[in-house]
Amino acid sequence: MRGRDKLIVAGLMLAAAATAAGLAGFAAGAAWEIAGLPPLGAPGSAAVVLMALAADAAYSRLSRPRPWSVGRQVPREWSRLFSARTVAVLYGARLGVGPLTILPTWLWWAATAVGASAGVWHSVAVAVAFAAVRVLVMVGLAQHIASAAAPRMARIMASEPRARASCAAVGTLVCAVMLIW
């Protein structure tokens, strides 16, 4: 797949992820309000994010606690049964709702809780931002990995902890910006 088709597939994946994330964010925010839970506020939100970062650090070193998710990517059969555009929509929808794929971080859960506590529309915004970052990183890495030779692949795999820390920092920043907004 080249050029225009690649952009269309990436755009479909991003749109599907944003839509699914928006619906999940809306559901989380509505559930928080229906349950009558109080807003976390800045100190509570910071505590939730710090707990997620601590859990991520523990998971990185000890493989526990494992973030709650199905632990699977898109079924490979999809690529045999459907067109690339259809697979992009299906995969994007699963990426948009973090736990429906492999989720190597607790930040999705933290972002969801922080967003939901701030209100339905904040929850939607946080969910869509998280999904967009996830898809854009995935699309960028896929391009890089596809062009990497075996020795370069080993270096990429060795840099995973740094990449996870960078993503955690970006996630924390997104949560902080959403709280201020």
pTM, two decimal places: 0.77
Question: Residues 72-95: what's their mean pLDDT?
Answer: 86
pLDDT at site 34: 97
Residue 152 has pLDDT above 90, yes or no: no
Give the pair of three-digit tokens for residue 125.
């915004």
Q: If 0-12 CB within 10 Å is exposed, 13-18 middle and 19+ buried, where does residue 61 land?
A: exposed
Nearest 5°: the CA angle 79, 128, 91 is: 5
- What is the C-alpha separation between 32 and 74, in angstroms, rounded? 29
- What is the C-alpha separation between 162 and 71, in angstroms, rounded? 21
pLDDT at site 37: 96
pLDDT at site 181: 56
Residue 165 has pLDDT above 90, yes or no: no
Residue 180 has pLDDT above 80, yes or no: no
